[in-house]
Structure 1
Amino acid sequence: MIVSRGLAVLGSVALASLVLVGCGTRLNRAPVENRGTSAAQGVQPGSITAPEVKLLPGAENAGKPGYYTVKPGDTLIRIGLETGQSWKDVARWNNLENANLIEIGQVLRVMAPTPIVAVAAPDARGVVTRPVTTTVVAPAAPSAAKAVVVPVIASPAPAASSGEDDMAFIWPSSGTLLAGFDEARNKGYDIAGKAGDPVLAAADGRVVYAGAGLRGYGNLIILKHNNTFLTAYAHNQSLLVKEDQAVRRGQKIAEMGSTDADRVKLHFEIRRQGKPVDPVRYLPLR
């Protein structure tokens, strides 16, 4: 009886020891290391990270003169029309391999890059023979080992007035006026006519667009006359000129039609530096 009671006491002591050992093991267990993606990137498990921000091409130029931020619904053709440029030039200035791939928020250069002008060096007779880069040697500080050469880029001489605002436009069609200029609702003139009536170039220029890629304009021709003015001719039945072709004032460039319109008519716009202006300021009275 005494032996049995002694064994029971020893068993209880042994069991208690095991429980204490087990508890000690759990309290001192090493922390679990997460070797997954979050741990590898220094992100604690369960934390919330901000989504990665994608910087679009040209974002550093947003808001600067000569740059344009792409808006919903924009195409390169529309951007060219709105900025007074050829869409091909815009594509080239921005190194766009595919002109159809532009993104909302992307910032595009819409003015030609300014060339660096070198200073011309005259020879002994005072005749300019070759361009050189002028440099100025700054005085050396007492501890400097050698002089510092500072390059100087010559500023171009002020350009003489080209009289680009003195354009002699003519009416592109002899039809009656259906709707006049309204900056909010009608960015040019709507001129009546019959299908096939001639559409004439309003001034000498170069074709910078000929096609139907601009919604609301149908078969469209855009002429660039100089660095200031564009004209647009919309809703044509057929186009008779191609892009990059030079045209003369009064030349037949299209035939009137009703593409993307509710009736046969010519929609005609004059744009000054990309902004629509009232044609009455430039067309002769009739």
Structure 2
Amino acid sequence: MSIAMNKTSRFDWGGLFYRLSLHPQMIIGNVIVAIVLCVMIFAPWIAPYEPTKLDILNRLAAPSAKHWFGTDQIGRDIFSRVVYGSRISVSVGLGVVLLAMPIGAVVGAFSGLAGGKVDTAIMRVMDVMLSFPAFVMAIALAAALGPSLTNAMFAIAVLRIPFYVRLARGQALSLRERSYVKAAETFGSSRIRTVCRHIVPNALAPVLVQAMLDIGAAILTASALSFIGLGAQEPAAEWGAMVATGRNFLLDQWWFPTFPGLAILITAIGFNLFGDGLREMTDPRMQGR
């Protein structure tokens, strides 16, 4: 009996690899995300120099064996700054999702379960927020809060909340008719308890897919805010700020803005591919395509 139980409880790795083989973009995304996360974790061991170490005698040096990505206008090693910049840029993307996802999921699930005037009021507020161009709103919020990476992250998170609200509301409208939700309400469960105990956990799959896609979008938006001076400030090794500084040297020292820009591009593509593959794996309507 115990042998049979062990066999049945063993994880089906073969089935997982087969499903992954049907979605090659997810494999590519997984590899990119895994590399980026490893770079984040092992940055002190990967980077040959401190990201803020100056070497004026080697300012704007071209890529070489000593400085793989060259140096910037005050002699800092660009490779080291790109490596350490992964910690900042990816942490912003993760922070945006960790702020926006739980708030949006709970508010959206509560709105769908409550219905009536409560649902109408919440959704009208979300519609107003979505009616403005997202990046323009991010600029306005970040400028109002003051130029810093934390404020930029908060501004982006606020703008992503309506997407989670609408997604969770749609799931709640479907789930509220299920028998276990009706039973919970019959036995006196409050709406908040029903939302947190029954609606949100069962609506989590599409919300997590959206979260994976949002990490890449948040990295791009945070880099754009840093590029215009509303995000990370010197001497922080943030990719968008590095591109902003390096754009003035693009014609003569191409390596200065190019390598941070490539880091933004590859990381965003990796998270987007991972999210797209996860969506296809979890959406029955997309199976077999």
The structure richer in strand per residue is 1
Same fold, judged at TM 0.5 (above)? no
Question: Which protein shows a greater Rg?
Answer: 1
Q: TM-score range by the shorter chain?
A: under 0.3
Q: Which has the higher contact order (CA 8 A, sep 6+)?
A: 2
Q: How high is the TM-score relative to the length of structure 1?
A: 0.20
The structure richer in helix per residue is 2
Q: How high is the TM-score relative to the length of structure 2?
A: 0.20
